[in-house]
Amino acid sequence: MAKDEEFIHALKTGDSKYIEHIYREYLPAISQFVNKNNGNNEDARDIFQEALVILHQKLKQPGFELTSSVFTYIFAICKNLWLKRLEKSRKLRVTFLDQQELSIVDELDSHIEKESQYRLYRKKFRELTAGCQKILELFFGGHSMKEITKIMDFGSVQYTKKRKFKCKEKLISLIQEDDQFKELT
Amino acid sequence: MSEELNKYDEVEKAVDNPSEERIRLKLRDDAAFAKEVAFHAGLKKAISDQGAFEFEAMLTEVEDRLYNSKKSNLRIVRWAISIAASIVLIIGAYTLMEWRAADPEYLFAQHFQAYQPGHTDRSAETVVTDELRAFEAYEQGNYERAIALFSNLLIEQDNPQYRLLLAISWMQQDQPGQAIPALKDILSENDTSYQVEAAWYLALAYLQMGELPEAKAQLKRVEASNSKFSPLARQVLEEL
């Protein structure tokens, strides 16, 4: 249990030393599960990272407490994520969640879905040019077009508006073209 | 384009003020709008979450350390990561500068200024003519009206200044594709007035369109024209 507390603290604060321990201890079991169910190690790492992000976000919410061990949570989330992917890609569904895993997934259900979407949005955002990332970062951060024009040293607000529009269009098309987005919606 | 530029305005407004009465009702009654707003709200939430970006970057770094590198010496890995981070930072800054410098639309925005027609004192004119209305609309920045009025004037009388102001009005409306034929018409005329201005704005219109080879060719002509626009053209060519 002391180990769990350390892991919870690491997940809350993003302590990479303990996060590394989490990978070493828990990823092999997830890989085994994914490999047995039409996936590979890369798939396993992807859903494992997604599960850690979900748990990190959830643990930051005031009042949230784990009702099972860290491993049970991570495994339940990973299983759920992988089964959903199998279902969407019409591969054979071979494994089901047990009762405890079901209750964890029910508890986190809407959070899991939203976090999966947000993670995809951030992943696609990283594919934009540095300039586009900066403009959208400022825009989503609540800066006005006038402020962005000044910060980016653009010639006019109209140009900034146009550039922001194009960057947002690019981001949206990257997201919508991704197979995972189609799976999530 | 300008209409398209505004296509997210209402959705973005709804993301920021969902409880405003008009928006609240639309969100309630228009499912497609509500879905669009939810998507944009999600985008905003995801992208503005700096903590999530940092956490994901840290996880990727851990994965790289554990699975993509054979080096066991953590100090060496950390050293390499910090060097890599510095390089990424330098490359990122350089890329941003390059992106800005080589971006024709950025150069257009930096150099485009609406042409100011020569001063004519029209205060004494007692009859409000279409020409007067057109110039007023242009000078007041009402380019939509200026386009309509100059287009009408050109039906009656072919005039290179009307063409130039019509073209610049189109550029102001973010429609350089409409400006280019008007500017080319001026350049193909025997009347040599406004040729230099037309050549300069044609170069800018190509930049606005993102058509780099045409813009460069036109800028070289302006540079060689030995006119007031030559130094400006040289500067843009250097930046390109």
pLDDT 10s digits, B77-133:
454 455 555 555 555 555 555 555 556 666 777 677 777 776 455 555 455 678 888
If you count residue pairs, one on A and one on B, with CB atoms under 8 Å apart, how many are there?
A: 103
A16 contact B CB<8A: yes
CATH topology for A1-108 is: Rna Polymerase Sigma Factor; Chain: A (1.10.1740)
Q: Among A41, A49, A110, A111, which would you mutate to test the B interface (most chain B Cβ atoms within 10 Å of its Cβ)?
A: A49
pLDDT 10s digits, A52-89:
999 999 898 888 888 888 999 999 999 988 888 887 77
Q: Among A111, A165, A166, which would you mutate to test the B interface (most chain B Cβ atoms within 10 Å of its Cβ)?
A: A165
B167: Cα within 13 Å, side-chain hemisphere = 31
ipTM value: 0.85
pLDDT (0 to 100) of residue B73? 47
User: Are the beta carbons of A53 and B62 separated by less than 8 Å?
Assistant: no
CA distance B91 to A177: 28
**Domain chopping of chain A, boundaries:** 1-108, 126-185
Please work out, in degrees rounded to the nearest 5, the angle formed at the alpha carbon of residue A121 by the alpha carbons of A119 and A122: 65
Per-residue pLDDT of chain B (240 residues; tens, 9 = 90+): 556 777 788 899 899 888 888 889 988 898 899 999 999 999 999 999 988 999 999 999 999 888 875 444 444 445 445 555 555 555 555 555 555 555 666 677 767 777 777 645 555 545 567 888 888 888 877 888 888 888 888 887 888 888 899 999 888 877 788 899 889 888 888 777 788 889 999 999 988 887 888 888 889 989 888 888 888 888 888 877
Q: Is A153 helix (H, G, I), strand (E, B) or coil?
A: coil
How many other C-beta atoms are found inside a 10 Å radius of the C-beta of residue B208?
27
Its CATH class, for the domain covering B109-239, is mainly alpha
Among A118, A129, A172, the residue with its CB nearest the CB of B52 is: A118
**Domain chopping of chain B, boundaries:** 109-239
Residue (of B118, B211, B203) closest to B165 by Cα position: B118
Contact B203/B219 with Cβ under 8 angstroms?
yes
A180 contact B CB<8A: no
A121 contact B CB<8A: yes
Distance (Å) from the C-alpha of residue A67 to the closest C-alpha of chain B? 23
CA distance A164 to B158: 39
A136 contact B CB<8A: yes
B111 contact A CB<8A: yes
Separation in Å, CA B221 to CA B114, B195, B236: 20, 11, 13
- Which tokens in the block code for residue B211? 């058509």
Residue (of A121, A125, A145, A123) closest to A133 by Cα position: A125
Among B5, B59, B96, the residue with its CB nearest the CB of A131 is: B96
pLDDT (0 to 100) of residue B19? 86
B55 contact A CB<8A: yes
Minimum CA–CA partner of B12 in chain A: A140
Minimum CA–CA partner of B74 in chain A: A17
